[in-house]
Amino acid sequence: MIELSGVGYSYGDSRLFGDITLSLAPGAFHFLTGPSGAGKTTLLKLCYLELAPDEGQIDIFGKDAAALNRDDIAKARQRIGVVHQDCQFIDHMPLAENIMLPLRVAGRDHAAEQNNLRDLMAWVGLGDKADALPPELSGGERQRAALARAVIMSPDVILADEPTGNVDWDMSLRLLTLLVELNRMGKSVLLATHDLALIRQAKAQVPARVLRLRDRVLQQAGSDL
């Protein structure tokens, strides 16, 4: 669904990485590892077209991203759910309204989605937090809310950037369980993380591929993880 072929990216005169080849097939589960500064977040941004590569080609849902206009890109992004480590919410808006923002942006009838919203919030364990304001939530609750917001549009691909970086181990496992469930529903998942213990836990549940971004190249990690 998302394919990168020979992709490179630089910041100014500094080359971050090059010759990246990556294919996110339907139903795939990939981990993305690598040291801080290697470019994991940048690679995810390329996958959801926030950034354009300096070289190479990105195909998204069968189309060359370079040939897409603004409306085409917006439609493609509706099929991609993104979970950021530093999840941002509108603090004065109740949590349920924050989660439904993607529906409003897409022009969907949010009133018709109320049942789906209730089911989704219950699924992530926030069924009793619909009227809570974001500052009232714990770190784990915010991350689960970010996941709910990312999947409210029922995307085909989930991109998660260090979603467990600021939560404890038990909450990390809970978030991982939700992502594994999404993958078993047919969603493709690309999860960037430093947590090797989390990767080992996931590989016991789902056939996950582990990719390592280091020294400007992307390689498949060995079986020692």
Does 7 fall in a domain? yes
pLDDT at res. 224: 52
Task: Say if residue 147 is in the same domain as residue 160.
Answer: no
pLDDT at res. 98: 95
Question: What is the residue type of 43?
Answer: L
Task: Say if residue 48 is in the same domain as residue 98.
Answer: no
Task: Say if residue 166 is in the same domain as residue 59.
Answer: yes
Give the number of domains in the chain: 2
Task: Say if residue 167 is in the same domain as residue 143.
Answer: no
Task: Say if residue 179 is in the same domain as residue 133.
Answer: no
β strands within 84-174, DSSP E: 157-161
Does 84 fall in a domain? no
Domain that holds residue 183: 1-79+155-225
Task: Say if residue 19 is in the same domain as residue 104.
Answer: no
pLDDT at res. 128: 95
pLDDT at res. 123: 93
**Under DSSP, is residue 220 helix (H, G, I), strand (E, B) or coil?**
strand
What CA–CA distance (Å, rounded) separates 103 from 78? 9
Task: Say if residue 143 is in the same domain as residue 195.
Answer: no
pLDDT at res. 75: 92
Task: Say if residue 67 is in the same domain as residue 117.
Answer: no
Residue 85, both tokens: 């480590």
pLDDT at res. 203: 85
Task: Say if residue 169 is in the same domain as residue 223.
Answer: yes
**Can you give the CATH number for the domain in which 25 is found?**
3.40.50.300
Mean pLDDT by 10 residues, the chain (225 residues): 95 91 95 92 96 96 95 94 90 95 83 84 94 95 94 95 88 91 95 91 89 92 60
Task: Say if residue 14 is in the same domain as residue 116.
Answer: no
What CA–CA distance (Å, rounded) separates 15 from 17? 6
pLDDT at res. 72: 95
Angle at the Cα of 64 (from 58 to 70), degrees rounded to 5? Answer: 100
